[in-house]
Structure 1
Amino acid sequence: MPLDRIPGEDNLYIGRFGFDSAFAVGQQKMLDSHHITHILSVLQYTAREKAEIEARPPSSPPRTRMFVDVDDMAEEDLLVHFPRIVRFIDGGLHSKPAVGSVREAGEAAAEGAVYVHCAMGKSRSATAVIAYLLWKRPQDFWGDGVKDGQNKAVQQRHPPAAAEDAVRRALALVRQVRPVVEPNPGFVQQLALWWRMGCPADGPDAVERRPAYQRWLYDKDVEESTRMGLAPARLWFGDEAAGAKENKEDGSSTRQKKDALAARQETAAVAATTAAHDAAYDATGPGQDFQLRCKVCRRVLADAAFVVPHEAATGEADGRLRAACNHHFVEPLSWMRPVLEQGELEGRLVCPNTRCNAQVGRYSWQGFKCTCRAWVCPAFSLQHSRVDCLTIRRPPKTGMQPSAVGGTESRPPDIGSPPGATEADKV
């Protein structure tokens, strides 16, 4: 049974390996016949299995190996390993074959060959190969309407709105030679996120540095905790993540600038794939934005960047349901920290102005149904009757602060400011 070679110019192979059906890694002649120089093992070995591998006599010529210990489970985090996976594969493909690795006459012997395997050659190995293809050959997966050199101002290097399509195209390419491949749903989602982030691989921590990855981890924690009837132990706040991105933009290093650019691309990706905002915001015109403020003291609670869009239930009464929507759903924000740190599954949200403390909404980690029948989880709601929605102009490029439309109001205080420390508290 030959190894399956990925279509393209590279000597990249995918397959399976298991101690119950020892095939490729245990058969040196098979690897020699394909001139394999590097082996990537994407599976969890037991201590006994690793000991057996280490006890084997070294191959001749020697082969470079890398192990990624993960299970084939949807909740497994394979995404964090993508940067070193793609660098290992790329380095192996462009390495020089060792002395003694003689190719047959007529074959090109300029570069190495990489074999990627897991237990069955269906999920983990396929995910690693697809991650490499998305990183190395993104232009191959842009789709029929986007070609290399076209629409780059809109599409950039990795079209954010086409993540799922790009993953499907890469999967179809691998299936041309190995029809059985089927990454589990969790890995498919991670590949889509990898594409949206721009496939960062400039360092082993390239994924860990990204706000989108941190948000993904937070969502996983929330899902797991609420499944057990608990509030998440780790909190994440949208305004603090945005502040971190701004700090990176102020940095002068190349990596900081790349991270800042990638963060903006991630924001564009989210905007391109989420639903439209509530009808209450549809009147917001070009160059304008909106803020949600406490109706009692006018303290800024959230702005448009932290509002979570949600769609009303479909049906004949859809228009009436949309008009009856009584909630502004927002990201968890740092002013909510005191109440969220209490570890309750649900509770009230009060204005962070210590001289006000008016109830402005409620939250539930397990989610709840809006009056428009849309289900939001987790749900952090600011009630329409308790907040004002103020339309403002976006800051001009000169860096001047925005003012309220039709007025001369200066920029409101930062929504992340600690309670009792804002100008709004003086009202």
Structure 2
Amino acid sequence: MKGAKIPLRSPSSLWGHIRDFLDNTMISVEAGLYIGSVSDLKNPEALTLKGITHILSVDSEQPELPGFHVKFVHALDDSSTDLLSKLDNCIQFISDASNASSSFSSSSATTSASSVLVHCHAGQSRSAAVITAYLMKTHKLSVQEAYSKLQLIKPDVNMNEEFLDQLTLYEAMNCELDPSSVLYKQFRLKKVTEKYPELKNIPRDIFAVDPAQSHNTEAIYRCRMCRRTLFRHSSILSHCVGSGASAFSHKRQSGGRPAADQSQCTSYFIEPVQWMEEALLGVMDGQLLCPKCSSKLGSFNWYGEQCSCGRWVTPAFQMHKNRVDEIKHINLAALK
């Protein structure tokens, strides 16, 4: 109708609309902690209304949010993502935000405590993994207990299986990243193989320090031929014993003689060491030779090799036990 006026929404009803929108998308996990999606970032005023001052963005694209303390963690929602290595920093950010004093004013805020929003794209997987880790660490919960608690609060969370596996590993490390953990070293090597299929530009920090270039009281292993120090005991990546001879049944010829049962591993599977770098980069598999006398020590395969016990180890850097000698340091002072 000509001359008709469109009714304008009053300020109070506008704020009510924002509150309704916020309540339908962003959910409170506990005091000062929210889980949400990228759509929540479209309403900065609504975030401020909830007392949000810190935002942890676990996504593929970094958001632009002036006026907020933002931590961006680049992460894809797929099996190639290493979220485990970033959990401690994420949890620290949430803890710092919870303890910080807010510098923002809000008409509905009753305290000066800061609140933090953890979000990913849909608010279902990556953000759920981070908050589950936070609940595990701060409330001393198992991964199953923490995830079940979050599912009760937000039933649509649906963490991918890879992140659940990483949280299980996080729990095994007592909810604190331990670079010296055998489990973590094995996990990181697998992720490197997935991320760098061409095996080039691999992070140098995956290579253990060459023990020949540093002194340590830890047990070491030397080349049996030239006595060159090759690796430390802490570089050995232990694995569960396999099923023995039955694991090699696919290699037997029909009517052939059964292979002997090998219940004890004949090789050490270790993390890569600095002296191996030239041989490993850009090469899928090959021999491991002594850097001093070039005698054969073992072999490597980034996609795995089978141990004599039958267990498949991935990736595999194996040193044959009959090619190296273990050297233990004796504390003479303790013997007196």
TM-score band, normalised by shorter chain: 0.5 to 0.7
Report if aligned partners of 1:13, 1:115 keep a CA contact under 8 Å in 2. Answer: yes
Shift of 1:314: 2.5
Provide closer, same or farther for how the CA distance between residues 368 and 77 of structure 1 changes in structure 2, counting only shifts above 3 A. closer
The percent of aligned pairs where both chains have the same amino acid is 26
> What is residue 298 of structure 2 aligned with on the other side?
361
Unaligned runs of 5+ in 2: 1-19, 248-258
Question: AA paired with 1:378?
Answer: P
RMSD: 4.3
> What is residue 323 of structure 2 aligned with on the other side?
387
3-state SS of paired residue (2:237): coil
3-state SS of paired residue (1:238): coil
Aligned counterpart in structure 1 of residue 148 of structure 2, from 164, 172, 175: 172
Provide closer, same or farther for how the CA distance between residues 28 and 299 of structure 1 changes in structure 2, counting only shifts above 3 A. closer
Residues 11-410 of structure 1 mapped to structure 2, 5 A cutoff:
11-18=32-39, 24-27=40-43, 31=47, 34-45=50-61, 50=64, 64-79=69-84, 81-82=86-87, 85-98=90-103, 100-103=105-108, 109-135=111-137, 137=138, 139-141=139-141, 166-192=142-168, 196=173, 199=176, 217-225=188-196, 228=197, 230-234=198-202, 236-240=206-210, 292-314=221-243, 321-323=261-263, 325-340=265-280, 343-354=282-293, 357-384=294-321, 386-387=322-323, 389-390=325-326, 393=328, 395-396=330-331
Report if aligned partners of 1:237, 1:334 keep a CA contact under 8 Å in 2. Answer: yes
Report if aligned partners of 1:312, 1:322 keep a CA contact under 8 Å in 2. Answer: no
Question: AA paired with 1:113?
Answer: S
Provide closer, same or farther for how the CA distance between residues 182 and 40 of structure 1 changes in structure 2, counting only shifts above 3 A. same
> What is residue 14 of structure 2 aligned with on the other side?
none
3-state SS of paired residue (2:140): helix
Shift of 1:374: 1.9
Report if aligned partners of 1:292, 1:387 keep a CA contact under 8 Å in 2. Answer: no
3-state SS of paired residue (2:113): coil
Provide closer, same or farther for how the CA distance between residues 130 and 359 of structure 1 changes in structure 2, counting only shifts above 3 A. same
Find the aligned partners of 1:85 and 1:130 in 2 and give their Cα distance: 11
Larger Rg: 2
Aligned length: 295
> What is residue 159 of structure 1 aligned with on the other side?
none
Shift of 1:12: 1.2
Q: Deviations over 1:8-37 (max 9, x none)?
A: xx221212243xxxxx44456754664434
Question: AA paired with 1:36?
Answer: I
Shift of 1:39: 3.6
The alignment's TM-score, normalised by the length of structure 1, stands at 0.54
> What is residue 152 of structure 1 aligned with on the other side?
none
Find the aligned partners of 2:213 and 2:158 in 1 and give their Cα distance: 39
Shift of 1:334: 3.3
Question: AA paired with 2:140?
Answer: D
Shift of 1:398: 5.4
